[in-house]
Amino acid sequence: MRIVLIHPNYHSGGAEIAGNWPPAWVAYLSGFLKAEGFTDITFIDAMTHHLTHDQVRERLVALQPDVIGATAITPAIYEAESILKVAKETCPGAVTVLGGIHGTFMYPQVLAEAPWIDVVVRGEGEQVLTDLVRCIDEGRWPAEREKVKGIAFADGNGKVVATPACPPIKDVDRIVADWGILDWSKYVYIPMNTKVAIPNLARGCPFTCSFCSQWKFWRDYRVRDPRKVVDEIEDLVRNHGVGFFILADEEPTIHKKKFVEFCEALIERNLPVLWGINTRVTDILRDEALLPLYRKAGLIHISLGTEAAAQLKLDRFNKETTVAQNKKAIQLLRQNGIVAEAQFIVGLENETPETLEETYRMALDWNPDMANWAMYTPWPFNDLFKELGDKVEVFDFSKYNFVTPIMKPDAMDRATLLDRTMHNYRRFYLRKTFLGYPWIRDKVKRKYMLGCLWAFAKSGFQRTFYDLGKVGYWGPQSKKNVDFHFDESRTLTTEAARAPHNAMWKTMHRPKVKLPAANAAADARACGGGTEQMEESRAADVRACGGGSDQLTEAQMDAVTAAQRAPRERASLQGD
Ligand code: B12
Ligand code: SF4
């Protein structure tokens, strides 16, 4: 059984400006498959190596695989579909598989527009792909495909079939990465000029922000044994030259005890590695006294979902934080020598030049080390999308990338939105360049910040930042000529729009804050499915483990984790 995994050659000018990042999905899938006896796996990183379709075709001709899988986040979906078309043309006998977030929720549309894709793997991939590969290996494909949990396929009679969701992997310590499958030569983090990795400590998120797709995707919050994750990091450092990593986690710090264990194990091993995370403001406030420990463990960069300068917007995002908390968290991080990055989401229908200006003033007031203005991107499977209705007019998913204004604000055109956003970036980083970074006393942090500045500058020269070269933006004077090149022929199919409501897709929690009345009925289904919602008492548990203003004590967190592990209860949550 020969398996080839492909990362599609899609690019957009956001996080990529910091370098080439190794695809964690490949390492985790490969590790799991190998442990189950499927060891003939090759990875083609078409993204990092900018491979053309012909170059990928050549590799496939030589490899002649039995299974060819590609990943797709939403903006990469068309490129993933195209590369799987190449795969089908080149190896017609191979089973073509799509995995990742986009297909998980949008499989009806994907299978209709790319009929050469044999199967979509929905959600967490390790178990499902292994079951699928075993089914193929044992000659039971396609006759017994309906027995493989967590997949979707077209049955040949014009019907799309989605099998029941596969339960999230309970014993997450079974997931051991195979980082050796990657060719490490190109995965360099520009700010530190060192190799970079993206290991996973925890999966999922107990919160339910209305603009976010991740809490729905993983369905359950689980943490790996911190010591085993540190073993993995030690392997990355010693055997692959990694000097910096970010945790792939949505919410790495909510299980405080495990996160502290993780930091302590890193301190014990004394590895020459710095790292970063994305996390929530409320966790930073909770962990004020622990921040020196986190820094001692090498945690140098924390990106905070501060999201908005106005409380109304935070509430609309179901963020469960306050503007005052945002400011305080940034101060705490800076006091502890940790780079604080504030993330704002801009570009909803009610954005105006004034509200954009407010975010800039807020950034000055909070004084984070870095600030980031991401364009609101209306994933059709998130809760806010339903509220927006026909205000979302662009369904060219290749532009759903946080740097292209998908929504047109009522009070300005998209080019103005981009221009005002760039205005914020220019002012913010100009100030930091002259009045901020060079004067940072802590040598490690100063070097890191100057490295970040270099990465920004490089992408500025290359016109890759925010895809400015592609859209023709050269400053305010060029606004009239900016063209986002939306493919207007792309639409959202009704079936796909409904897919997230699939009753088999159960999430362990549901939105904790009341959503706008118009959505309430649909939303309850979207996250949990049908009438079999989690009972109220469970919702309270989840709230305790993640949400609201009340954080759990360590003992309570352990109790909740233990309860969550109880098989009977778990089965009921997972709809088994
Ligand atoms: C690391 C990361 C990156 C890295 C990517 C590194 C890489 N080469 O893969 C970098 C920094 C480059 C990056 C860039 C971008 N990212 Co990013 N990124 C992440 C992050 C933080 C972690 C992803 C990760 O590795 N997770 C861990 C792995 C194990 O999970 P996974 O990828 O989902 O894979 C599992 C399943 O999906 C499934 N699976 C996945 N692929 C496949 C394939 C097959 C065949 C099968 C069977 C299964 C399968 O199995 C895997 C194991 O269970 C997530 C946020 C988050 N916390 O998840 C955002 C996230 C994925 N990024 C996102 C976006 C939008 C982007 C950018 C467009 C933003 C920008 N403009 O910079 C770019 C696009 C880059 C590109 N060219 O594709 C969004 C995608 C949302 C969506 N609905 O599509 C996310 C979810 C962030 C968010 N807040 O919404 N990103
Ligand atoms: S805290 Fe909110 S934005 Fe962050 S992963 Fe959880 S649900 Fe998504």
pLDDT for position 480: 94
Kindly state whether residue 223 falls inside one of the protein's structural domains: yes
CA-to-CA distance for 172 and 561, rounded, in angstroms? Answer: 13
pLDDT for position 546: 32
Q: Write out pLDDT tens, residues 174-211.
A: 999 999 999 999 999 999 999 999 999 999 999 888 88
How many helices (H) and strands (E) the chain has is answered by 22, 16
**501: confidence class by pLDDT, cuts 50, 70, 90:** low
**Position 391 pLDDT exceeds 80:** yes
Which atom of ligand 2 is least distant from the CA of 250? 5
Is the distance from the beta carbon of residue 209 to the nearest atom of ligand 2 less than 6 Å?
A: yes
Is the distance from the beta carbon of residue 572 to the nearest atom of ligand 2 less than 6 Å?
A: no
Q: Are residue 456 and residue 313 in the same domain, yes or no? A: yes
Q: Are residue 140 and residue 195 in the same domain, yes or no? A: no
CATH number at residue 289: 3.80.30.20
- Residue in 208, 210, 250, 255 to alter for ligand 2 test, most ligand atoms within 8 A of Cβ: 250
CA-to-CA distance for 506 and 120, rounded, in angstroms? Answer: 18
CA-to-CA distance for 538 and 151, rounded, in angstroms? Answer: 28
pLDDT for position 316: 85
Q: Write out pLDDT tens, residues 314-368.
A: 888 888 889 999 999 999 999 999 999 999 999 999 999 999 999 999 999 999 9
Q: How far is the CA of 328 from the centre of ligand 1 (A)?
A: 29
CA-to-CA distance for 492 and 451, rounded, in angstroms? Answer: 41
β-strand partners of 373: 344
- Average of per-residue pLDDT across 33-54: 98
Q: Are residue 131 and residue 279 in the same domain, yes or no? A: no
pLDDT for position 317: 87
Which of 182, 173, 187 has the alpha carbon at shortest distance from 246? 187
Q: Are residue 287 and residue 435 in the same domain, yes or no? A: yes
Q: Are residue 517 and residue 465 in the same domain, yes or no? A: no
Give percent of the chain with pLDDT exceeding 90: 78
Q: How far is the CA of 50 from the centre of ligand 2 (A)?
A: 31
**Position 298 pLDDT exceeds 80:** yes
Is the distance from the beta carbon of residue 9 to the nearest atom of ligand 1 less than 6 Å?
A: no
**Position 523 pLDDT exceeds 60:** no
Residue 19, C-beta contacts closer than 8 angstroms, at least 6 positions apart: 187, 188, 189, 190, 191, 196, 455
pTM listed for this prediction: 0.91
pLDDT for position 454: 96
Q: Are residue 149 and residue 206 in the same domain, yes or no? A: no
Q: Are residue 474 and residue 563 in the same domain, yes or no? A: no
Q: How far is the CA of 345 from the centre of ligand 2 (A)?
A: 13
Q: Which domain holds residue 523?
A: 508-572
pLDDT for position 522: 32
Residue 99, C-beta contacts closer than 8 angstroms, at least 6 positions apart: 25, 29, 69, 70, 71, 72, 120, 121, 125, 129
Measured CA distances, 396 to 46, 104, 209, 441, 486 (Å): 22, 18, 24, 46, 6
- Residue in 68, 198, 406 to alter for ligand 1 test, most ligand atoms within 8 A of Cβ: 198
CA-to-CA distance for 166 and 128, rounded, in angstroms? Answer: 7
Q: How far is the CA of 220 from the centre of ligand 2 (A)?
A: 13
User: Of the ligands numbered here, which is closest to the C-alpha atom of 215?
Assistant: 2
**308: confidence class by pLDDT, cuts 50, 70, 90:** confident
CATH number at residue 152: 3.40.50.2300
CA-to-CA distance for 170 and 174, rounded, in angstroms? Answer: 9
Q: Write out pLDDT tens, residues 397-431.
A: 999 999 999 999 999 999 999 999 999 999 999 99
Q: Are residue 459 and residue 554 in the same domain, yes or no? A: no
Q: What's the order of all strands across the beta sheet hosting 370-375?
A: 188-189, 194-197, 242-246, 274-279, 299-307, 339-346, 370-375
8 Å CB contact between 437 and 370: no
Number of domains in the chain: 3
Q: Are residue 345 and residue 268 in the same domain, yes or no? A: yes
Kindly state whether residue 75 falls inside one of the protein's structural domains: yes
- Average of per-residue pLDDT across 155-177: 94
Q: Are residue 388 and residue 476 in the same domain, yes or no? A: yes
pLDDT for position 497: 79
**Position 471 pLDDT exceeds 50:** yes
Which atom of ligand 1 is least distant from the CA of 17? 72
User: Of the ligands numbered here, which is closest to the C-alpha atom of 123?
Assistant: 1
Kindly state whether residue 152 falls inside one of the protein's structural domains: yes
**Position 524 pLDDT exceeds 60:** no
Q: Are residue 153 and residue 198 in the same domain, yes or no? A: no
Q: How far is the CA of 71 from the centre of ligand 1 (A)?
A: 9
Q: Are residue 369 and residue 444 in the same domain, yes or no? A: yes
Q: Write out pLDDT tens, residues 538-561.
A: 333 333 233 333 333 444 444 444
Kindly state whether residue 496 falls inside one of the protein's structural domains: no
Kindly state whether residue 497 falls inside one of the protein's structural domains: no
CA-to-CA distance for 283 and 256, rounded, in angstroms? Answer: 8
Kindly state whether residue 182 falls inside one of the protein's structural domains: no
**Position 395 pLDDT exceeds 90:** yes
Query: 510-515 contacts: CB < 8 A, separation 24 or more?
Result: 510/208, 510/534, 510/539, 511/208, 511/210, 511/318, 511/383, 512/207, 512/208, 512/318, 512/320, 512/539, 512/542, 512/543, 512/547, 512/548, 513/208, 513/315, 513/318, 513/320, 515/210, 515/318, 515/383, 515/387
pLDDT for position 500: 66
**Position 566 pLDDT exceeds 60:** no
Kindly state whether residue 486 falls inside one of the protein's structural domains: no
Kindly state whether residue 499 falls inside one of the protein's structural domains: no
